[in-house]
Structure formats: structure tokens, C-alpha cells
Structure 1
């Protein structure tokens, strides 16, 4: 026969296993974030509005656009064509990369080149860089 401590231990183990099994099904990100970063055919159209810049993230050691980033920029192109000015701010953390300024500008230049290929006039794009923030990205901002 089992004594009370063995029964309590067995019940605790079953209870903890049940809680852990419930955690497995819990998504780690809210659905809106998953949908916004999903590269499926149902890619949501990103929005760049005055005062709400769009951040296009890059791998730490890369300035090259991925096919997913090109798809996002293609979706953004109609909004950007109507803008009076566009600020492309390249980010690269100087704590991570030795030539952070060059890397940040290379990212912004690659985005600019792609947008020009999408019919956006390069004269309305201004390139900037930021090496202070711990970010590896290009921020697209519509100027007012």
C-alpha cells in the first residue's frame, strides 16, 4: 500500500506534467507579430506613415537584402511613391561591428537602390545612419 507522501508526490508530478504540457501549446509571440513576420503568401501589407517609421531588420553581419525584405519593400513602394521625402536610416551597432558606419550606410544604400528599381525617385530619399543603438536595420520614414 502507498503511504500519503508517495501519493502526494505522484499527484504533484501529474499536476506539474499537466501544467508543462499546457505550456507547449502556448505561442511565444502574439498572433499579430507572427502574422506580420510570416513569409507566407498571405504577407500583410506593411504601412509607413508620417510619424510611424517602418523598421526593416537585417542580420548582424549582413547588408544584403533578402528575398523577404525585397517582398516587403515591393509592398511598401506604392506608399513611398506618394511621399514628398523619405528618410532611410541605416542602423549598425558599433558595439557589434568595427566599421559600423559603413555597414549602416551600406544597408541604407541597398534599400535605396531597390526602391529606385521599384520606380521611386532617388532625389527624394535621404540617407542617414545610427551606430549608437543596438540595432541592425534600416528605418524607412516618410518626411512631412
Structure 2
């Protein structure tokens, strides 16, 4: 038993004196990995931006003055904001804008949703430099539409 213990200790001692060094990580490796890891993130951001621009283009082609909303949503999405920003110069120069929120009356809280949509667009317009005194908020639950119509008077 003592012999086995001595052999183990001798092996351990000799291995500690070994001249074999473990490979060191080079400073170049993390830098080489970082751009490759960042590239998919940058590509996905570019794809997301392109998809958003495509959605804004489609909305503008359909009706530039109508900002579509998701069913029962009160939130102005990024496509809606982009659609408004593309027209902000004409909105800023208008004497009066009527912002009419729509939500089909089939929804249990259609009036509240239609009004909240119009208010969300009004708040975004004001934050974008359109004077609040030029904005009138209205809502409609009779038309089968999900969004906000901006009309210049």
C-alpha cells in the first residue's frame, strides 16, 4: 500500500515539473470572434428595418392619410409612426387636422379604443412638432375600419 502511495506521489511530482505549457489564448482571437458575432445582429437589424420600410411603403400606397392599427390595439406602432413622419412637413403646415380614430362597433369597447387611437396619433403629432391647437380628435365606430384617418382642413 505504501508503495502504491509512493508511486502516485512520485508521478504527481514529476508531472508538476513537466515543461509542457498549456496553450495561451491570444489577444487576436476575441477580436476575430466579436465582429463575426456582431454581424448576424447587424444583419437582423438591417432586415427588420427593411421590413419596416416595406410596411410603411405599402401603407402609404394604400392610403397615406390612414394609419392602420392592429385589431383592438390602442398603440401606435413603428410603421404608423414612420408613415406619419414621412408626411410631417405637410401636417406641420396645416391650419387644422382632424384625427379620427376608427374601431368597428363589433368590439365591446370600440368607442374607447377608437378614441385612444386618435389620442395616440395626436400625442405623436404634437411630439413631432405639430401645434396641439391645430388638432381635433374624433372617433367613429360605424365604419368597419381599424386605424386612424388624418384629414387636413
Q: TM-score range by the shorter chain?
A: 0.5 to 0.7
How far 1:46 moved relative to its partner?
4.6
RMSD, aligned α-carbons: 2.4
Q: Does 1:55 align with 2:66?
A: yes
Q: Going by fraction, where is helix more abundant, 1 or 2?
A: 2
CA contact (8 A) 2:100 2:150 kept: yes
Cα distance change of structure 1 residues 137 and 41 upon mapping to structure 2, 3 Å threshold = closer
CA contact (8 A) 1:107 1:138 kept: yes
Q: Does 1:117 align with 2:127?
A: yes
Unaligned runs of 5+ in 2: 1-50
Q: Secondary structure at the residue paired with 2:70?
A: coil
CA contact (8 A) 2:56 2:79 kept: no
CA contact (8 A) 2:56 2:80 kept: no
- Greater RCO between the two (CA within 8 Å, min separation 6)? 1
TM-score calculated relative to the size of structure 1: 0.63
Match of 1:39 among 52, 56, 62: 52
Q: How does 1:19-30 map to 2 (within 5 A)?
A: none
TM-score calculated relative to the size of structure 2: 0.60
CA contact (8 A) 1:53 1:141 kept: no
Aligned structure 1 segments of 4 or more residues deviating by more than 4 angstroms: 41-47
CA contact (8 A) 2:101 2:147 kept: yes
Cα distance change of structure 1 residues 60 and 41 upon mapping to structure 2, 3 Å threshold = closer
How far 1:53 moved relative to its partner?
7.3
Unaligned runs of 5+ in 1: 1-37
Cα distance change of structure 1 residues 112 and 128 upon mapping to structure 2, 3 Å threshold = same
Name the structure 2 match of 1:23.
Answer: none
Equivalent-residue separation in structure 2 for 1:126 and 1:40 (angstroms): 28
Q: Does 1:64 align with 2:72?
A: no
Equivalent-residue separation in structure 1 for 2:131 and 2:105 (angstroms): 31
